[in-house]
A and B are shown apart, each in its own frame.
Chain A
């Protein structure tokens, strides 16, 4: 075992290799590692955030659903109310219309009856005059007995 210049050669190579390692190996590799670490951390953060956002979204969806359900219920209730109101109104209108028609019909009937009565009365007056002429055998001056005939007719 001889000690010789190999020792110096080894010192020089050692210095050169450490320098090369410092220059070309260590910084890029540790930078890549740090970068990846950062990326993973960011990814995890993003995942957390997304999960939180999802939860928020689900909550707001739930709230919106509840609200629309309530709205729909109100609307249905209103519609029902309105419907029954319309039905009631229609009923009232129909009743009123029916009453009106009934009244009109009654008035018509009355009128007809009166007219028939008048016609009848006129005919009765004529018939009475004719009957009386036959019974008396003479003509009755309608003008002279107008008062009597009218009275008779009115009594009929």
Chain B
């Protein structure tokens, strides 16, 4: 994972498999970055993610809750078609905004 803070927005760029093992390693890092930077907006970029499952959806929903408590917003970016299907199925887009493109590293 890579990240950058631009103005009031924290960008996360995820890579490869976004599965149970990967999220175990990433979760605390993301929690700490959000707490430290206190961004108004977090954008999660999934363009380079080749695989995601319900563990990934759980992670996204948990960060949404973390940000909501801070009064901040989460935006998901650049999901593949299959990954979009998964997020749709879970009803994620009813509460979390989605956009294509965004700021690249």
Q: Do A and B bind each other?
A: no
